[in-house]
Amino acid sequence: MKRKTYAQAGIREYWVVNLKQRSVTVLQEPSQGDYQSEETVTEGEVYPSAFPEVAVSIQRLLKG
């Protein structure tokens, strides 16, 4: 599973865009081979931890 591979590599934040369920899952805080924080959103905006001043619209991500 990519989630655990990315966590083990120390990728601080990982987003999963699910077009079928029209949601975005934001995984953060890699530790002990997995992410400790997981939030699934279906509307509004998310702010990448690397660029906290940049708002990313969930609606725009799910247009595909």
What are the average pLDDT values for consecutive 10-residue runs of the chain, which has 64 residues? 94 96 97 97 96 96 83
Q: What is the pTM of this model?
A: 0.90
Q: What is the per-residue pLDDT for 1?
A: 79
Q: What is the per-residue pLDDT for 63?
A: 87
Q: What is the per-residue pLDDT for 57?
A: 97
Lookup: tokens for 43: 């509307």
Q: What is the per-residue pLDDT for 22?
A: 96
Burial class (CB in 10 A: 0-12, 13-18, 19+), 28: middle
Q: What is the per-residue pLDDT for 64?
A: 59
